[in-house]
Structure 1
Amino acid sequence: MEHRRWAEEHPWPPRWLRWVPPALILLTLALDHATPSRYSFGPLLSASVVLALFTYPPIGVAATGAAGCVLLALANEIEDYVGPQTITSLIVLASVTLLSMALCIVRRRSESRFRHVQAVAEAVQLALLRPLPARIGPLRMAGFYRAADDEALIGGDLYCVRDTPFGIRVIIGDVKGKGVAATQTVATVISSFQEAALIHPSLPQVADRIDVALQMDRDHPPLEPLGDKVAAAPAQSLTDELFTTAVLLEFSRDASSVRILDRGHQPLLVIRRDAASVVETEHSLPLGMADLLLDAPRVTTLGLDPGDILVAYSDGVTEARDGTGTFYPLRDRLQSHCNSGARPVSPTELITFVRDDLVRWTPALGDDVIAIAFQPAPAGDR
């Protein structure tokens, strides 16, 4: 997950902060020694104790305060100007140390509780968005997912891959809304897809099952937490539809072809023979809006040769803006990459390029981002 990698690269508090408290103590003693006795820098020692609160355990905070008191008393004794200012500085430093120790204990308990809650949340979220396998049978795949909120694992985008008796089935989608409501819809779509993909022989039937689940959520909203109680969410109105743009894929058992059902999602791209092109499909209404369909959505079949790469993505990719407000041109960037002689030969290479190129293009992502690449394995590697 992208957010986990970012957190590992940017730990908090930063490691260098642990060296600041002792450095501040030494700086205070040096200033006291270098200036006349009428100047007192003892209060600076309190700052070192406060900084220790964020980096050290309680025993470390106590040691920092004790070291400051001892060194300040020794320095003043050596300089022979122990007076009211010294006594006041020691009392203030001791008081700040005791208060910082108490706050440090509270902080560590809060961090422990937060880590526990975060671990439970990650387990639940990863149960929905499971890591992509590198390969299922003859189909290779790779992808990356990043929520707009760096602290979240799941946003409004979703994906799921299942090996079924009817082929390898995939859904990539983007639900309406953000936050808790979006996560509930993600759970509805993925759970419905996982069940329907195994029992329904056609993609339209799978989509119909998801349609029914979304309409049930719209008509009978799931319960939402309200303080210490659980309350029913307000009913969705006709002007506040619950829907998901999605594309459903069904790869044949040998991955030589893929059936595509487009329910209002971003157009797929295919890279073959050094050319990146858009896959022409019949665009239909999003999932959850089946009651507005006049005709049943049609499935498009696309043949795939070994080496071809099919790319599915969300609008978070193509709507990412650079500093001038220009949208990220995914197809053009892939075509330029192929023309440069660095044509991706595997899904992993392609996804690595898209992820790094997208980071270079936009200073900050304003929406959830997902991109997944699929490729039939060569005949000798099946």
Structure 2
Amino acid sequence: MGAGRAAAEHRQWDEQHPWPPRWLRWVPPALVVVTMLLDQVTPQRYFFGALLSASVVLALFTYPPTGVLAVGAAGCVLLAVTQSIEDYVGPMTVVALTVLATVTVLSAALCVVRRRTERRFHRVQAVAEAVQLALLRPLPARIGPLRLAGFYRAADDEALIGGDLYSVRPTPFGVRVIVGDVKGKGIGATRTVATVISSFQEAALLHPSLGEVAERIDLALQLDRESPPSEPMDDGRPAHTPAQAPGPADEVFVTAVLLEFSADARVVRVLDRGHQPLLTVRHGTASVAKGDHSLPLGMSDLLTAPPGTVTHTLDAGDILIAYSDGVTEARDSAGTFYPLRERLQDHCSSSTGPISPNALVTFIEEDVARWAPTLGDDLVAIAFQPAPSGDE
């Protein structure tokens, strides 16, 4: 699930919708044949040899360089032969052959550049996908006694990740989770996502309390704010020193909720740092989980007291849902926000059997897509459920 599934869907879509489409490769030779037929069936005062250059240009997008040269050479030979048979080799024929040969050579050169660019793009795309999947790793169906499922959708269809983030980590203190939303867009948001996730994954293993984990992330964000990464230039030198780097410093903060599940997953401690309230589904009823709202991560210097944690007890079958504001702020055509709790309640009331985390997040994902076909923000939602006693 998560970004891993988004990457798989991107690859599947590319395989189903290749560009250029396969039928386009038949157009250049067909255009050569049609041009020759038009030249034969029309009076001599009509000359269609110039259309052969179009077949070479089309071949540029579908064939390798040798194929482009073959199409151009075939056009030149056919044009010369047909004009010789008609005994009508004149200035127009010479001009057409010269233009066709020139276009063929230039198109073959451009085809070499195109194929090199495509190879470079595919390499960069593969590296970017690997980096993004390293940040937002696919969610397992289960970690110890905890069942979980989730989905992630970036607002940009061409991207695998955006400004939302999540991470699930088994630790000596229990399974720890972070779900958050970076305030900002573009490459700057991705950098902050990397900072938060890397800091969480390290701190979750070392610090015994969620408050200390949050403090470690706060420190990392503060360092990013005071010494932001510089932008590289083409020659490898930075375009800006850290003190000159563009961008307002107050954008480096993250709304997030940190969770810590006990060894049996029946008790969860929640540290809310300015994020959306959790939802619980218990006995077919969806409700908002009580929490202690605090300032976002990266704004610890404004706190008057350390944020407190809230403890919740989960019974068998209970489901806890963490999500980003992209879900609740998705709008329909009339501009109405998506009513997550109400839609969950209607879904749970109409369900006849037990609800699993996977079924629940699948419903949310599909229902949001129906409600708001066009996304204005990134979406993430993860559902957690303690496994029944004795369930292997």
Give TM-score, length-normalised by structure 1.
0.90
Question: More deviation in 281-290 or 235-244?
Answer: 235-244
| Residue 152 of structure 2 is aligned to residue 142 of structure 1 | no
Does structure 2 retain, via aligned residues, the 8 Å contact 1:3–1:151? no
> Would you say how many aligned residue pairs link Structure 1 and Structure 2?
382
- Measure, in 1, the Cα distance between the counterparts of 2:316 and 2:80: 78
What are structure 1's unaligned runs of at least 5 residues?
none
Q: Which residue of 1 aligns with 2:257?
A: 247
Q: Which of the residues 5, 9, 12 maps onto 2:9?
A: 5
Shift, 1:61, TM fit: 1.4
Q: For the structure 1 residues 162 and 333, does the alpha-carbon distance in structure 2 shift closer, same or farther, using more than 3 Å as the test? A: same
Please state whether the residue corresponding to 1:261 is helix, strand or coil.
strand
Cα separation, 1, equivalents of 2:249 and 2:130:
34
What is the rounded CA distance, in whole Å, between the counterparts of 2:30 and 2:346 in structure 1? 52
Note the 1:231-380 alignment, pairs <5 A. Answer: 231-233=240-242, 234=244, 240-341=250-351, 345-380=355-390
2:162 counterpart (155, 158, 161): 155
Residues 184 and 251, structure 2, Cα contact 8 Å, conserved in 1: no
Aligned-pair CA distance for 1:121? 2.5
Contact residue 230 and residue 245 of structure 2 kept, 8 A: no
CA distance in 1, matches of 2:160, 2:345: 31
Report deviation, 1:213: 1.6
Inter-partner Cα distance in structure 2 for 1:252 and 1:107? 55
Q: Does the residue aligned with 1:266 lie in a helix, a strand or coil?
A: coil
Shift of 1:160: 0.9
How big is the alpha-carbon RMSD for the aligned residues of Structure 1 and Structure 2?
2.5
Deviates most, 71-80 or 20-29: 71-80
Secondary structure in 2 matching 1:224: coil
Could you tell me which runs of 5 or more consecutive residues in structure 2 were left unpaired when the two chains were aligned: none
Moved more, 49-58 or 165-174: 49-58
For residues 187-226 of structure 1, the aligned pairs below 5 Å read 187-226=194-233
Q: Distance in 1 between matches of 2:354 and 2:94?
A: 71
Relative to 1, partners in 2 of residues 1:376 and 1:98: Cα closer, same or farther, differing over 3 Å? same
1:222 is aligned with what amino acid? Answer: P
Distance 1:344 1:5 in 2: 29
Q: How far apart in 1 are the matches of 2:67 and 2:223?
A: 56
CA separation of 1:265/1:100 partners in 2, compared to 1, >3 Å: closer, same or farther? same
**Code of the aligned partner of 1:232:** T
Query: Is the contact made by 1:144 and 1:351 (CA closer than 8 Å) also made in structure 2?
Result: yes
Q: C-alpha distance in 2, partners of 1:74/1:381? A: 80
Query: What is the one-letter code of the residue matched to 1:53?
Result: L
* Distance of aligned partners of 1:3 and 1:317 in 2 relative to their CA distance in 1, 3 Å threshold: farther
Question: Which residue is equivalent to 1:48?
Answer: 55
Residues 339 and 71 (structure 1), Cα distance of their counterparts in 2 relative to 1, 3 Å cut: farther
- 1:86, CA displacement in angstroms? 3.3
The CA distance in 2 between the partners of 1:78 and 1:8, in whole Å, is 51
> Offset at 1:37?
2.7
Instruction: Check if 1:64 corresponds to 2:71.
Output: yes
Cα distance in 2 for partners of 1:140, 1:70 equals 69
State how far apart, in whole Å, the 2-side matches of 1:342 and 1:72 are. Answer: 73
